[in-house]
Amino acid sequence: MIKLKRVYQEPAEDDGYRILTERLWPRGVSKERANLDEWMKGVAPSHELRKWFDHDPEKWDEFKDRYRKELFGSEAVQQLIDTVEKEDVVTFVFASKDEEHNSTVVLKEFIEQLLSE
């Protein structure tokens, strides 16, 4: 099972294995407070794509398409799949204030689709 959670929310036992899926470390959060098991920068959108998107919901559909293209065939994605298959519960941790329009939402959908094939 894959869950999503903001890094600013309190970690919980039922989060399972916690993975930060951001390229940049979240502002104002210590490693201790984040309580992560792993930081997988390699599954985050490229710096160029992240800057282009700039959390603009009007660019959401195109962002999803571009990000999926970056994810396809990525070694980091295969490592993430291996982790998800090994753990009972994995929580993808993200920093964005927008819980509906962020890369981690796309990543979760992408991984779940690959696992269902």
Residue range of the domain that includes 91: 2-116
Strands 90-94 and 17-20: parallel
Model confidence at 117, in pLDDT bands (50, 70, 90)? confident
DSSP secondary structure, 3-38, as one string: EEEETTSPP-GGG-EEEE--SSPPTT--HHHHT-SE
How many folded domains does the chain comprise? Answer: 1
Instruction: Check pLDDT > 90 for residue 47.
Output: yes
CA distances (Å), 108 to each of 41, 80, 111, in order?
15, 11, 5
What confidence tens digit (pLDDT) does each residue in 77-105 have?
A: 999 999 999 999 999 999 999 999 999 99
